[in-house]
Amino acid sequence: MGARNNEYHYETVVEAINELRRKGYTHDFNLEENCLICGAGQFTHEEFDVEEVYRYEGMSDPGDEATVYGIASKTGVKGILVTGNASEIDSRSEAILRKLHY
């Protein structure tokens, strides 16, 4: 698995996304059933590494929770995945969730 960078916590989700874009994470990943997809393809949990993670918790509303991931595929595709409340993520994506939250 790739190294995770959590050394700096950006003030907002938007700041984290903008910084990841500056670092070359140019694709937008979406979570699908047991894979991540983007315009560059589809990736199973074995085909990508999570390199950076930034977590945000809502002050008064758990629905405001978000996690921003900087992800790189084994083929060199770099992108961003933003997830909300973990309980809202489909349980059919268990292998992906284990990888994201190891």
Torsion of CA 70, 84, 99, 19, to 10 degrees: 10
Residue 93 covered by a domain: no
Per-residue pLDDT, 31: 87
Give the domain extent around 30: 13-88
pLDDT in tens, the chain (102 residues): 444 555 457 888 999 999 999 999 999 999 888 889 998 899 998 999 999 999 887 665 555 688 899 999 999 999 999 988 655 556 656 777 777 765
Q: Based on the structure, what is the number of domains in the chain?
A: 1
Residue 47 covered by a domain: yes
DSSP 5-41: B-S---SSHHHHHHHHHHTT--EE-EEETTEEEETTE
Per-residue pLDDT, 95: 74
The residues, any chain, with a CB within 8 Å of residue 100's CB and separated by 6 or more, are: 50, 67, 69, 81, 83
Residue 32 covered by a domain: yes
CA end-to-end span of the chain: 10
